[in-house]
Chain A
Amino acid sequence: MPAPEPDPATPVFRPVAERGLLVDFAASFSDAAHQAVLRLDRALGDHPFPGLAETIPALVNLLVVFDPLVTDHVKVRAHLQRLLARTEAPPAPGRLHRIDVCYDGDDLAPDLTQVARQTGLSTEAVIERHLSATYEVRLYGFAPGYAYLGGVPPDLRLDRKPAPVRGVPAGSVMIAGPQCLVTTLTMPSGWWVIGRSPAQILTGDPGRPFLFDVGDRLRFHRVPRSALPGLGGGAAR
């Protein structure tokens, strides 16, 4: 079965049951493919079709979910192709956020020493490199508010731990491979915890319940322990 390889100029449309189309822009991650996902997502936000339920942007594809009582795969595909055919300027980069993080203490940054050892850097150099990058929200997944951030500098990229650790607290700033994450819930994780953030990604604000949208960028800003009032990061409940 020769299947065409998708690329950002000629995406592949894959039906998902009776109620979705997955628009695939690449077989593996590239900035161009992710930009194409964001462009189509925004175009759909500006030009929705009757029966559009929701869209889920991911690394190289966009899932378009629709109401099968109102429309069908063929009509949705035609609408998406019309949007893709428009030559529009690339979307403006997403909002830039400043996210506070405290790197001090074995309770808040339990894996910092181990990350330093494995990368051959000093702990201060690990912190400096982590602070030097601009990160981009690539997709959400795993749990509510878990925003996967691309952009970890190459010399901080480590495989995840061999086994997950239980009870990683909400607000943990952790890295694995090219990705970074600020957790919103206390969950098990095999990622390397290098700090703690007071940022409320689940904001508790009904008007804007999540701090980031996919495509937003952020930079980390170092703060002392005193800047962590509730040692939070999770739900304001």
Chain B
Amino acid sequence: MTRALLHIDFAGPHVSLQDGGRPGHMRFGVPASGPMDRLAFAAANLSLGNPADQAGIEVSASGLSLTCREGTVTLAIAGGGFIVQTGGQRLGSWIVLTLAEGDRLTLRPGPWGSWAYLAFAARIDAPPWLGSLSTHAASGMGGGAIVSGQNLVLSGAETRPGRHGPIPCPVMARPRHRLRCVPGPQDRFFAADVMQDLAKTVFQVSEAYDRMGTRLKGAALPPLNALGIPSEPILRGSVQVSGDGVPTVLMADHQTTGGYPKIATVLGCDLDAFAQCRPRDRVGFVPVTPDEALRIARAEHRRAQAYLAALASAGPGKPKAAAG
């Protein structure tokens, strides 16, 4: 049986379909989107024997509950420390399991983390946009938000019992509170003492966070006469400061250009674990030079790849239907 049907019993806000994202369209106002925590998302897919970027569900801290109404499918859960339950039984929060018809799966926020991922040994039937199922939250373009009452059709559903079991959660997947960043590109709009404050201040993650960005609380970082700056390009990780001095770290669904000055840009390798912080968590910025940023990015990439490669090869069971 290759089809499976999942009924979404409950999905809170900000639960959506995501895949590896749609890079390359920023010049047209389209950010790459994709998972808030790309490492955990890849871990879920690779633990199943999937390609790292196969479409899955991104679960927000509001949680998700679904019932398998038809078919059988193996799935992987990774990201954050969510409470995962099926059949009245509490499971580890990073795990590969199989859902059969009638089984219910629930994810609720647990001891830590803001985003969890469900990857499937199946394809999700949804319309791509610009070659990707990733959902751009503000527009709804892409595979789309996951909402209560919806049915999700899976094609080519497989069971992979050889992949069952816990997925190791490495330290690098835990929330990151020290964000390495390169000052600029609009640091010239901030006084020298404000640039020092950026490195010294302990900020707090505010309640204002979503897929576009995370606003921080703490000392104000007032810009100097920056009201007239022409709109400039933005990257995921840009630390944008509004006129009242409040910094926002821009994330997966960021706007691609904007007129607020960017005091610093967080390294890509620190953003996944930063996304797992929760409101009131303390965070600080660690300025590094562009050369240091390159060395850090390359070293972190090697570490992540070693972890992911081990996951991909760990399961004794390769996809069973793929052979036949």
Give A contacts to B, CB under 8 Å: 1, 3, 14-20, 22, 24, 28-29, 53-63, 65, 68-69, 72-73, 139-148, 185, 187, 206, 209-210, 213-214, 235, 237
| Closest chain B residue to A73, Cβ basis | B290
The proximity string for B residues 240-277 relative to A, scoring 1 for CB distances below 8 Å and 0 otherwise, is 00000000000000011110000001111100000000
Q: Which residues of B contact A214 (CB under 8 A)?
A: 27
Q: How distant is A12 from chain B, measured CB to nearest CB, in Å?
A: 9
B96-148 residues with Cβ-Cβ distance < 8 A to A are 127, 129-131, 136, 138-139, 141
**Is A15 within 8 A of B185, CB to CB?**
yes
Main secondary structure of the interface of B (DSSP, over half): mixed
Main secondary structure of the interface of A (DSSP, over half): loop
Q: How distant is B250 from chain A, measured CB to nearest CB, in Å?
A: 12
Which listed residue (B29, B182, B188, B301) contacts A17, Cβ 8 A?
Answer: B182
Q: How distant is B221 from chain A, measured CB to nearest CB, in Å?
A: 17
**Is B228 within 8 A of A140, CB to CB?**
no
| Closest chain A residue to B302, Cβ basis | A69
Which listed residue (A63, A148, A185, A206) contacts B233, Cβ 8 A?
Answer: A63
Stretch at the interface among B53-61, B74-82, B291-299: B291-299
| Closest chain B residue to A22, Cβ basis | B185
Q: Which residues of B contact A206 (CB under 8 A)?
A: 130-131
**Is A16 within 8 A of B184, CB to CB?**
yes
- Identify 14 residue pairs between A and B in the complex whose beta-carbon atoms are under 8 Å apart, listed by A's number: A14-B185, A15-B293, A16-B184, A16-B185, A17-B181, A17-B265, A17-B266, A18-B182, A22-B232, A53-B24, A58-B231, A144-B29, A144-B136, A237-B129
Which listed residue (A16, A56, A185) contacts B26, Cβ 8 A?
Answer: A56
**Is A54 within 8 A of B233, CB to CB?**
no
A16 to B183, CA, bound (A): 8
A237 to B266, CA, bound (A): 35
**Is B233 within 8 A of A61, CB to CB?**
yes
| Closest chain B residue to A209, Cβ basis | B130
**Is A53 within 8 A of B294, CB to CB?**
no
Total number of residue pairs linking A and B with CB closer than 8 Å: 142
Contacts A15-B185, A22-B233, A58-B233 given; does A145 touch B297 at CB 8 Å: no
| Closest chain A residue to B191, Cβ basis | A1
A28 to B226, CA, bound (A): 11
Q: How distant is A90 from chain B, measured CB to nearest CB, in Å?
A: 20
Q: Which residues of B contact A237 (CB under 8 A)?
A: 127, 129, 141
**Is A143 within 8 A of B27, CB to CB?**
no
Which are the 5 A-B pairs with shortest beta-carbon distances?
Answer: A141-B257, A63-B233, A140-B29, A14-B185, A18-B293
Q: How distant is A46 from chain B, measured CB to nearest CB, in Å?
A: 16
Contact of B23 with A by CB under 8 A: yes
Contact of B66 with A by CB under 8 A: no
Contacts A18-B296, A141-B255 given; does A59 touch B28 at CB 8 Å: no
Q: Which residues of A contact B268 (CB under 8 A)?
A: 17-19
Contact of B306 with A by CB under 8 A: no
| Closest chain B residue to A146, Cβ basis | B29
**Is A18 within 8 A of B290, CB to CB?**
yes
Contacts A18-B267, A18-B293, A18-B296 given; does A28 touch B256 at CB 8 Å: no
Contacts A56-B26, A56-B233, A68-B297 given; does A143 touch B257 at CB 8 Å: no
**Is A17 within 8 A of B237, CB to CB?**
yes
**Is B192 within 8 A of A19, CB to CB?**
no
**Is A140 within 8 A of B23, CB to CB?**
no
Which listed residue (B232, B290, B297) contacts A15, Cβ 8 A?
Answer: B290
Q: Which residues of B contact A29 (CB under 8 A)?
A: 230
A19 to B266, CA, bound (A): 10
**Is B258 within 8 A of A16, CB to CB?**
no
Q: Which residues of A contact B27 (CB under 8 A)?
A: 54-57, 140, 213-214
Q: How distant is A42 from chain B, measured CB to nearest CB, in Å?
A: 12
Contact of B153 with A by CB under 8 A: no
Contacts A28-B230, A61-B232, A63-B233 given; does A56 touch B297 at CB 8 Å: no
Q: Which residues of A contact B267 (CB under 8 A)?
A: 17-18
Contact of B30 with A by CB under 8 A: yes
**Is A72 within 8 A of B294, CB to CB?**
yes
